[in-house]
Amino acid sequence: MRAALWFLALFGIAAAVALFAGNNQGTVTVFWPPYRLDLSLNMVLLLLFAGFTLLHLALRGIAALLELPRQASRWRNQQKERAMHVALLDALAHQLAGRFIRARKAAELAIEQEEALVGAGQPLPHAVQVRALAHLLAAESAQALQDRPGRDGHLQQVLAQTADNPSAPAQEVREGAQMRAARWALDDNDHAAALDWLAQLPQGAARRTLALRIRLKASQQGLHTREALDTARLLTKHRAFSPAAAQSLMRGLTAELIQGSHDTAQLVGVWNALEAAERTDPDLAVHAARRLAMLEGDDALGRGWLLPVWERMLGQRDGLSTAQQLRLVRALENGLESIDAAWFARIESAQQQHPRDPVLQYLAGMACLRRSLWGKAQALLARAARDLTDPGLRRNAWQALAGLAEERGDAQAAADAWRQAAQVA
């Protein structure tokens, strides 16, 4: 449709020109003494148009001729810029493919091309970012090749290039270089240097997931368990781990912190610093109570830590695994010498609510034994010894029955009980 309209317009113009030119009787006379030159108006107009066209073409040709050196220089700079970007992409590709020698050479070639552009007076608007990235790729390759002097040299170039540049891209590259330097320090088993690099990051960058992961590993490497635990909590809030992995990590760090307590005051401080959800964790509560017993702390305090776990076990029979129930019973058994009436009532009530549970029968029997309730202890332990599946508790039950038989003077029953204890695998 557009082409048809153009054709119609051209036909209209041609018709108008033909009408004007065909009926135009005007002339133009040029006096050049002693000559006189008469020309038709159509010829004069045609000559003027031709002259203007020739003059325009001549000026365009002269301008193109004068522009040739500048275009040649621009073409050379474009070739250098393209070669620089190609080298930078090659360095990144070789780096990802594990070809570190080629990656380093390509990165150094990109740096040379960028310097050539600066020398030609054609610096790039993003020259600082390109140069810093090239140095960073070269440093990464040098780290993979165990060339620490080369790595440090390129790293210092990155930091020097971005130190006085307030632009956001340059600062992003600088923060990335500092994080990579911290990671390299971890690879060299230098956790102190890694933490120093992380300390130089701005506050916002230091709370990023990558920085927190590096801080966590550095803290673990340097045995800074409390700092590692705080970092792990931040990572958990950022959802850096799956729920199962986060729970396992937090449990391991907390257990390590509990195990590293050297006195009761330190252990109580560690326990009070835990979050509410962590204090109700069965494994951590049992571990803390057992550590408190090893440090000869207050058994009543340890039982207070175990109380939420005990209530969870009774309230939800599947709330604790079998192994966790056994660890809880062993932790309570260690403090039965100083058990108070409230806890004795809890144990007795739990056994009565679950009369067929051999683990609760065992714990109630041992509690009765500590309180000199010989008859009741004898009945409970006898039933528990037959049904217990845990070798340790079963052996302890038979040994307790043997002791009770010796106290009664029943040598035959004592011998049978000792034999049963010896036969436990």
What is the tens place of the pLDDT at every residue in 264-294? Answer: 888 888 888 888 888 888 888 888 888 888 8
On the question of pLDDT at 336 being above 80, the answer is no
On the question of pLDDT at 382 being above 70, the answer is yes
Give the pLDDT band of residue 55 (cuts 50, 70, 90).
very high
More confident residue, 317 or 85: 85
Q: Which of 47, 48, 29 is nearest to 37 (CA)?
A: 29
- Bridge partners (DSSP) of residue 27 are 40
SS3 28: strand
Structure tokens at 103: 């990656």
DSSP secondary structure string for all residues of 325-385? HHHHHHHHHHTGGG--HHHHHHHHHHHHHSTT-HHHHHHHHHHHHHTT-HHHHHHHHHHHH
Q: Where do the domains of the chain lie, and which CATH numbers do they carry?
A: 28-162 (1.25.40), 261-338 (no CATH), 350-425 (1.25.40.10)
Q: How many CB atoms lie within 10 A of CB 107?
A: 28
Q: How many CB atoms lie within 10 A of CB 165?
A: 15
Q: How many CB atoms lie within 10 A of CB 367?
A: 23
What per-residue confidence (pLDDT) applies to 129?
A: 83
Residue spans of alpha helices (H) in 23-126: 41-97, 100-119
SS3 149: helix
- Give the single-character DSSP code of 145: T
Give the highest mean pLDDT range of 19-33, 176-190, 290-304, 341-355: 176-190
SS3 415: helix
Q: Tell me the C-alpha distance between 237 and 394, whole Å.
A: 44
Give the pLDDT band of residue 398 (cuts 50, 70, 90).
confident
Give the pLDDT band of residue 30 (cuts 50, 70, 90).
confident
On the question of pLDDT at 23 being above 70, the answer is no
Strand 35-40 relative to strand 27-32, pairing: antiparallel
What per-residue confidence (pLDDT) applies to 19?
A: 64
What per-residue confidence (pLDDT) applies to 360?
A: 85
Q: How far is CA 279 from the centre of its chain?
A: 26
Residue spans of alpha helices (H) in 120-242: 127-144, 148-163, 168-187, 191-199, 203-206, 209-221, 225-237
Instruction: Tell me the percentage of the chain whose pLDDT exceeds 70.
Output: 96
Residue 238, φ and ψ in degrees, nearest 5: -80, 0
| Residue count (the chain) | 425
Which residue in the block uniquely carries the two structure tokens 């260690």? 334
What is the tens place of the pLDDT at every residue in 305-314? Answer: 888 888 888 8
Give the pLDDT band of residue 54 (cuts 50, 70, 90).
very high
What per-residue confidence (pLDDT) applies to 193?
A: 87
One-letter amino acid identity for 5?
L
Give the pLDDT band of residue 16 (cuts 50, 70, 90).
low
pTM, to two decimals: 0.68
Residue 36, φ and ψ in degrees, nearest 5: -140, 130
The distance in angstroms from the start CA to the end CA of the chain is: 99
On the question of pLDDT at 119 being above 90, the answer is no
On the question of pLDDT at 373 being above 90, the answer is no
Q: Tell me the C-alpha distance between 9 and 363, whole Å.
A: 108
Instruction: Tell me the percentage of the chain whose pLDDT exceeds 90.
Output: 3
Q: Tell me the C-alpha distance between 360 and 384, whole Å.
A: 8
Q: Which of 421, 334, 425, 416 is nearest to 385 (CA)?
A: 421
On the question of pLDDT at 124 being above 80, the answer is no
Q: Which of 171, 146, 147 is nearest to 158 (CA)?
A: 171
DSSP secondary structure string for all residues of 276-317? HHHHT-HHHHHHHHHHHHHTT--HHHHHHHHHHHHHHHHH-T
Which residue in the block uniquely carries the two structure tokens 């054709």? 7
Q: Which of 155, 142, 87 is nearest to 116 (CA)?
A: 87
More confident residue, 121 or 145: 145
Which residue in the block uniquely carries the two structure tokens 């066209």? 53
Q: Which of 277, 273, 305 is nearest to 289 (CA)?
A: 305
What per-residue confidence (pLDDT) applies to 318?
A: 62
Helix 282-294 vs helix 264-273: angle between axes, to the nearest 10 degrees? 160
Q: Tell me the C-alpha distance between 178 and 186, whole Å.
A: 13
